[in-house]
Amino acid sequence: MTLTQLEYLLAVDTYRHFATAAEKCFVTQPTLSMQLQKLEEELGVQVFDRSRVPVRPTELGKDVIAQARVAVAEFKKIEELVKVQRDGISGELRIGIIPTLAPYLVPLFITDFIKKYPQVRITIQELVTNTIVEKLKLELLDVGLLVTPLHDKTIVEVPLFYEAFVGYLHPSHPLSSLKEITAEAIDPAELWLLNDGHCFRSQVLQLCNRAKDTRNVHLDYESGSLETLKRIVETQSGMTLLPELSVQELPADKTAMVRPFAEPQPLREVSLVVHRSFLKRKTIEALRDEIVTHLPQGLRERHPVRVVKIK
């Protein structure tokens, strides 16, 4: 059994396709096939069921793959150790972040982070929660920024801050006359909502005591970005709920459309999450510190009161 064989094994598990896996490993498909056969022969078990398309692990194969991921991760930490010692914080950092956080959180810290750690190459992908979790498990991402808790044992959550929900209302909306709003006063049926799949959607519905998904809320139109929702409220009518960070830098006329919730404000827990293998630890710790120090004062100091849980 060699380290290379395990890497081929993990690649096949990740891509579920021999040729693709081989390409990602920079070898040809027969090379990968043969090494996998040798590995299976040595272990005395079939790891993949090749009779199905796409290939998939056997039952025992799943355990082997899981342990192989642990072993290979521990292996990589040896190189990491030496690298951090020699070059300081450096290397590639692949971040996955949910779309309702990205446009407001990333600008806060990104330039200073790049200035402080010029040796780090950052990749940022806007993805929904489920995709981030999957990619973390396959080691296609190093770290995720999203809303927790996830209730996933293979993922480690590091809470960063607790973000309030706020109302965003057209001046014509009945609740617009109030200084503060409450969950009870909101009719979920008249809320502009994000597409299904965004965790912010389910958080909002849950906040309004509508655990189950709802059809014909307002219209069939459902947006993929908070900015679209804001634009609709601004130029048309109705209301929507937004996360606090998205209304930080509004011009005065638009700030007038924001209504905070009455205390205790509903909050969502925003966390940095990593796979429990804890690769690139130092770099990720640097990222966490950099995000936290760049948060608006109010957010950094807030304690969790009523946190909206997803699902």
Partner DNA sequence: TAAAATAATAGATTTAAACTATTACCTTTA
Partner DNA sequence: TAAAGGTAATAGTTTAAATCTATTATTTTA
Which residues lie near DNA (CB under 7 A)? 2, 4, 16-19, 26-31, 33-38, 50-55
The residues, ordered by sequence, that sit 6+ positions from 105 with a Cβ below 8 Å of its Cβ are 97, 145, 245, 270, 291
Compute the distance between CA of residue 110 and CA of residue 105 in angstroms, rounded to an integer.
Answer: 9
The answer to whether 278 contacts a copy of itself (rule: CB under 8 A) is no
Q: Which residues of 154-175 are buried (b: 16+ CB within 10 A; e: fewer)?
A: ebbbeebbbbbbbbbbbeebee
Minimum CB distance to DNA smaller for 53 or for 252: 53
Does residue 62 contact residue 24 with C-beta atoms inside 8 Å? no
Q: Which of 19, 34, 60, 211 binds a copy of itself (CB under 8 A)?
A: 60
Residue closer to a copy of itself, measured from CB, 79 or 289:
79
> Binding marks (x or -) toward a copy of itself, 70..99, rule CB under 8 A?
xx--xx-xxx-xx--xx-------------
Q: Which stretch binds a copy of itself (CB under 8 A): 38-46, 183-191, 260-268, 299-307?
A: 38-46
Quick one: 2 or 130, whose CB is closer to a copy of itself? 2
56 binds a copy of itself (CB under 8 A): no
Question: Nearest approach, Cβ of 63 to a copy of itself (angstroms)?
Answer: 6
**Binding window for a copy of itself (CB under 8 A); candidates: 42-50, 141-149, 173-181, 239-247:** 42-50
Q: Determine if 251 is a binding residue for a copy of itself (CB under 8 A).
A: no
Question: Does 119 contact a copy of itself by CB under 8 A?
Answer: no
- Please provide the size of the chain in residues: 311
Shortest approach of DNA to residue 18 CB, angstroms? 3
- Close Cβ partners of 289 (under 8 Å, ≥ 6 residues apart): none
Stretches 16-24, 41-49, 109-117, 243-251: which one binds a copy of itself (CB under 8 A)?
Answer: 41-49
Distances (CA, A) of 240 to 12, 67, 206, 214: 44, 46, 14, 15
Cα–Cα dist 43/130, whole Å: 33
